[in-house]
């Protein structure tokens, strides 16, 4: 199965980051949904049912962690793969990891990437999770 028509939600409050992620992935044939905050992300997931979510941690409204928690506790969304993409370590000096998310939320994201992210690393993670 090709990537064509696979919907990827990019949830990040920084327009430049959303544009960067889309630019990295656009040659792979995905359809993109955009959200600038956690509430928009949840609304988009429930309405559009993306095949994969790329989720920033630090966003206005609901944080990416709160969004992740809600998605995992909803039968309709718990199976959607999530790539957490965060600059929290770069911004605050405080690290966090997918394993820690697993301990805290009872589930961990399918991929956990630090900003600034290498384009090939991001592309490979998305392709692996969508098995394209």
Q: Domain range holding 63?
A: 7-127
Residue 89 pLDDT greater than 70, yes or no:
no
Residue 113, domain member (yes or no): yes
Q: Which pLDDT tens digit goes with each residue over 14-47?
A: 999 999 999 999 999 999 999 999 999 999 999 9
Q: Which residues contact 23 (CB under 8 A, 6 or more apart)?
A: none
H or E element that contains 121? helix 119-130
Compute the average pLDDT of residues 101-105. 72
pLDDT confidence bin for 90, thresholds 50/70/90: low
Cα distances from 29 to residues 8, 21, 34, 69, 106, in angstroms, run 10, 13, 16, 29, 33
Joined together, the tokens standing for residue 6 give: 């696979």
Query: 1 lies in a domain?
Result: no
List the one residue out of 11, 82, 84, 14 whose CA is nearest residue 51. Answer: 82
Rg, Å, the chain Cα set = 13
Nearest to 77 by CA among 112, 35, 41: 41
The pLDDT-based confidence of 100 (bands split at 50, 70, 90) is confident
In a domain, 90, yes or no: yes
Q: Flag whether 76 is in a domain.
A: yes
Q: What is the pLDDT of residue 5?
A: 84
Specify if 119 maps to a domain.
yes
CA distances from 54 to 57, 82, 123 (A): 10, 6, 11
Give the predicted TM-score (pTM) of the model. Answer: 0.90
The domain that holds 70 is classified in CATH as 3.40.50.2300
> Cis ω on the peptide bond leading into residue 116 (within 30° of 0)?
yes
Is pLDDT of 2 > 60?
A: no
Helix (H) or strand (E) holding 98: helix 98-105
Task: Dump pLDDT digits (tens) for 50-86.
Answer: 999 999 999 999 999 999 999 999 999 999 999 999 8
Question: Could you give the number of structural domains in the chain?
Answer: 1
């Amino acid at each position: 199965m090709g990537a064509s028509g696979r919907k990827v939600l990019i949830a990040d409050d920084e327009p430049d980051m959303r544009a960067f992620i889309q630019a990295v992935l656009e040659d792979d044939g995905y359809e993109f949904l955009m959200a600038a905050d956690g509430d928009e992300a949840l609304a988009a997931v429930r309405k559009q049912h993306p095949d994969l979510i790329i989720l920033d941690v630090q966003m206005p409204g609901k944080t990416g962690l709160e969004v992740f928690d809600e998605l995992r506790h909803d039968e309709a969304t718990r199976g959607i793969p999530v790539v957490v993409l965060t600059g929290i370590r770069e911004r605050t000096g405080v690290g966090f990891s997918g394993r820690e998310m697993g301990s805290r939320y009872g589930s961990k994201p399918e991929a956990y990437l630090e900003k600034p992210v290498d384009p090939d690393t991001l592309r490979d993670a998305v392709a692996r999770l969508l098995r394209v």
